[in-house]
Structure 1
């Protein structure tokens, strides 16, 4: 386990290196928006966790039955707002030693830029394919939203190794709290390349309102029903 002091030093380093000094178009005030957004995030994520708790128990059982070696949940370090590191949570969709196998698969990456995406990733379990296609594996991130690490809507949080390869322009994504869903998810998801994802994220940052957040959430629900371009 990494000592808390070391984690704090790493977080401070990322914040210093990657915090982008950007403002919304026209310098529009956003204090009220951010307050309302946080209140909505807390209320919605708490309610969703309560309602979905039976589904969580069922998924935990199914994941353990297929691969008893690993844990039900998968935790991974991500880069949040202003470069702050945090632990993201997911339902485990891969075999227990998936991270150790990644270096052997990097040459089969199907995404341009620093992100890694592979449609037929051999590390994904049978249950994992289903929960990934339907994005059910992302549901534990409601805990991240409740904690304040993430918001319901915003740019997806990246891995530290991905951020290391960001250009100064790409790092503008780090100016806001990352989200469970965003414009990328409702505009093509894995069907888009990294550059297109960045442009969509920056467009969201410039134009974000509670109305846009709600629209993206409704569009996300529709995308989940269609289960298209998710892997």
Structure 2
């Protein structure tokens, strides 16, 4: 795979690039179903920005879909620049960081594509020479409504409890999944159903890894962000259930 990378400083971990294979339509995640691979969105006009995060920009594509692309003006890239200030290859390092996150998110969405609490990925694009063409790396998903403070205020307590219960069942059913720094901003609703959208730093652990403490932290965080005046009665989704 010709990724044009020539580095003269300390070595970088490029092993994640081994997951890519060349196809006539761009690069694909190796050994994955190619039905999601679609680079026809390269030239689409992206005039309506929905959100800009630390590492991703989200644009309105159609009434029911959005497209995510790397945000080279975001905080992640800026932090990388400062961390590598003075290094000749800082730009390659920082682009690699964004690319690594996007490839990880694509990989995770492919593995979790049948889970009802995971945003549905419709297509993705990894162009040839992805570092040079980083701005064209794309993930197209169904469109959800952000679960922000305004949205929460419009929900009844029972609706918020249903969202909480659904998410707790999700984590209880995917015990080897770990989401880094999970927070409410990673959740949207589609027809009232909660779905998680950010997986750039997600990973799986072994079956013997501790789940009880991780689940307890997730549960505590979700309760604090979704419910008001909560008392620990009811909503007892057990980690043994």
Specify the TM-score bucket, using the shorter chain as the normaliser: under 0.3
Q: When you count helix as a share of all residues, which structure comes out higher?
A: 1
Structure with higher Rg: it is 2
Q: TM-score, normalised by structure 1?
A: 0.27
Give the TM-score normalised by the residue count of structure 2.
0.26
Higher relative contact order (CA 8 A, sep 6+): 1
